[in-house]
Amino acid sequence: MTRGALLALASLVPFLSGCIAAAIPLAAGATVLRTRAAHTGEGRVAALAPVPGGEAKTGIVVTDLTALPPPDSAQTISSEGTTAFAAYALERAGIPGTAAKQQSALLTSASELRATRMECGARPPAVLIDLDPGRGAFDPLAPGAPDAALAAALPSLRERGIAVIWSSRLGENFAGAVRAALAGGGLDPAGTDTLVLMRDIGERKQSRRDDMAKRWCPIAILGDERADFDELYLYLRDQQSAVALDAMLGRGWFIASPFDASMVAKDGAR
């Protein structure tokens, strides 16, 4: 079982009776298997164009390369997403006359499969950053490498009066460990940002997002999968049925991770 899965289960123990809490290890293996099975990928296969004249031509092209170029790392991709995320939030917060009519990155009713944003009224702007890797839970004891681009961008957001809110499915009893991980990664060194964690076993991340939106206006959300923007994506049989919601990508929704969980230090592994 992964450390993230253990922490997610442990966060629920304070809310359970003794007999139910004792049953958690028995269900843990099945939970991890279901979590892994939930991940799917998307891709396109490009067709090869025929050579004019219908004849296949082969040949060797000599170059000066002595080695293959390295592939894009997950950290590079994440940095691109977080840079765009911060730039968008700063742009939205800086548009004159929008303070009283700012639109949220949360949808009024995602089940209608339309990108209709919530109205914020005069609520102060905020950005929401999801810490959980995929369908797992954030591991504050071994979070991985923090995104340097995000760490560099967040001070500008705070200076402009944009609240930074961190979200996880961990229980509130993990607040101290989460704050330590954020401070250690340079993402919230002062420990002044807001944490949105689960208050009881029956609570959903969507309900916590909705509660947060009653106080702030989340103008941008950063998460590593679409379910971090709306729980609708947890229940879709056909992901293509919600293609209209992709209009939110890059315009309120940004796919990236604040930590690269694959870069966990060896001495932090258990």
Span 122-144, average pLDDT: 95
With a CB cutoff of 8 Å and minimum separation 6, the contacts of 181 are 138, 140, 141, 143
Burial 250-262 (b: 16+ CB within 10 A, else e): eebbbbbbbbbbe
Q: Which of 3-12, 68-77, 159-168, 228-237 has the highest mean pLDDT?
A: 159-168
239 has pLDDT over 90: no
Render 126-195 in DSSP notation, one character per residue. Answer: EEEEE-S-TTS---TTS--EE-HHHHHHHHHHHHTT-EEEEEEEEEGGGHHHHHHHHHHTTSSTTS-SEE
Span 110-131, average pLDDT: 91
172 has pLDDT over 90: yes
71 has pLDDT over 50: no
Q: What is the pLDDT of residue 262?
A: 67
Q: Higher confidence at residue 24 or residue 191?
A: 191
17 has pLDDT over 80: no
Q: What is the pLDDT of residue 126?
A: 96
Task: State how far the Cα of 169 lies from the Cα of 184, in Å rounded to an integer.
Answer: 20
With a CB cutoff of 8 Å and minimum separation 6, the contacts of 139 are 2, 3, 4, 7, 261
Confidence of residue 110 (pLDDT cuts 50, 70, 90): confident
Q: Higher confidence at residue 126 or residue 81?
A: 126
Residues above pLDDT 90, as percent of the chain: 53
Residue pointed to by tokens 């230090």: 265
Using CB atoms within 10 Å of the CB of residue 91, give its burial: 0 to 12 exposed, 13 to 18 middle, 19+ buried.
Answer: exposed
- Which is nearest to 147 in space by CA: 165, 131, 169, 167? 131
Span 80-88, average pLDDT: 91
Q: What is the pLDDT of residue 208?
A: 94
121 has pLDDT over 90: no
At residue 210, what are phi and psi to the nearest 5 degrees? -65, -40
Write out pLDDT tens, residues 246-259. 999 999 999 999 99
Q: Cβ(21)–Cβ(13) under 8 Å? A: yes
Q: What is the CATH number of domain 74-261?
A: 3.40.50.1000
Angle at 254 between CA 10 and CA 205, to 5 degrees: 30
1 has pLDDT over 80: no
Listed by start position, the domains of the chain span: 3-37, 74-261
Q: What is the pLDDT of residue 198?
A: 96
225 has pLDDT over 60: yes
